[in-house]
Structures are given as C-alpha cells and as structure tokens.
Amino acid sequence: MAMTPIIRIQREDFDLSAEIAALTAGRSDIGAVVSFAGLCRDEGGRLKALELEHYPGMAEAEIARVAEEAARRWPLSGLVAVHRHGLVAPGEQIVLVIAASAHRRAAFEAAEFLMDYLKTRAPFWKREHLVDGTTGGWVEAKAEDDAAAQRWD
C-alpha cells in the first residue's frame, strides 16, 4: 500500500496523542508507533522565546523529500512531520515526528532518520529572544547535527 506522509508547517501548537490517534484510526496493520517531540529549552533561564523563520513552499517540499526517502528505506505504514514557525516559548513544542510500521525497528529508525535529516535539510532558522528584552543572535548550526545526518548516508 502506498503510504502518504502527513506534513504540516504551522504556527499553532500540535497535540501528539491526537496525531497518533488520527494516524492509527481504523488500522489493524500497524504494530509499532514511534513519536518524537522537540521542545523549546529556556537555556538556563536566559531565553524568553525562540523565533522560527522558514522558507514557505520549500520547507514542505524538502520534508516531503526526506519522508519519501524514509519510505524507500523502511517498510512504513505511516509518517507524520509537523514543524511550527513563529514565536515559541520555553516548554512549548516545536517539532513532531511520528513513524508507524508493522514492527518496532523500522519505526524507531525511520523516526530518527526523519529528525536527523529534517534538522540539516529543512529550511528553518532559529533566532533567540532573551529574557532581558533584547533579541539575541541567530542560532548557529551544529557540526554534531551534520554528523548525525551523515551517518545515514
């Protein structure tokens, strides 16, 4: 069965349980669901919010390409990727990935693959807004994120 990934870029928060329920509703072939939610940290009390800028159009297209690649590599029953943009406060959710498969191995690996690739390929940029009222700098890309994505090559 062809698997159609669900990909959304949105300003609003998302409900992890509702997303899993929607993905698995009416299905009896799914044996494993792995979800990952990325949250905004306060960076030791320094951060008031993260501002997420994105490239509309390309963000959806690039995540779709990563999802297609995941579907080529693992036998998946479903995939969900939701990424927020705009201002996100510490404690709030930023990103969600759900991978479903008949067995756990594929679901675990596909979820991790999707996150690793999303971080280095999806056109999003974070800027810090600080508790002292100033706008901090743009968050710099981490070499460890590149390394995490490259291990799947």
Partner 1 sequence: MTQAPTQARTVKLVYFAWVRERIGVSEETVAPPAGTETIADLVRWLKTRDEGYEAAFENEAIVRAAIDHHHVKPDAVITGAREIAFFPPMTGG
Residue 40 near partner 1 by CB under 8 A: no
Residue 152 near partner 1 by CB under 8 A: no
- Beta-strand relationship, 76-84 and 135-138: unpaired
- Beta-strand relationship, 32-39 and 124-130: unpaired
The residue among 52 and 100 lying less far from partner 1, judged by its C-beta, is 52
Residue 39 near partner 1 by CB under 8 A: no
CB 101 within 8 A of CB 94: no
- Beta-strand relationship, 76-84 and 6-10: parallel
**Contact window for partner 1 (CB under 8 A) among 12-20, 26-34, 100-108, 117-125:** 117-125
Answer for which of 119, 129, 130, 136 binds partner 1 (CB under 8 A) is 119
Q: How far is the CB of 138 from partner 1 (least distance, A)?
A: 5
Number of residues that bind partner 1 (CB under 8 A): 28
Give the residue carrying structure tokens 């991978």: 99
The residue among 104 and 142 lying less far from partner 1, judged by its C-beta, is 142
Q: How far is the CB of 26 from partner 1 (least distance, A)?
A: 30
Q: Which amino acid is at 136?
A: G
The residue among 77 and 79 lying less far from partner 1, judged by its C-beta, is 79
Listed in sequence order, the DSSP H helices in 1-151 are: 16-24, 58-73, 104-121, 143-150
What are the strands of the beta sheet with 124-130, ordered from one edge? 86-88, 47-54, 124-130, 135-138
Q: Which residues bind partner 1 (CB under 8 A)?
A: 38, 52-55, 57-58, 61-62, 83, 94-95, 115, 118-127, 138-141, 145
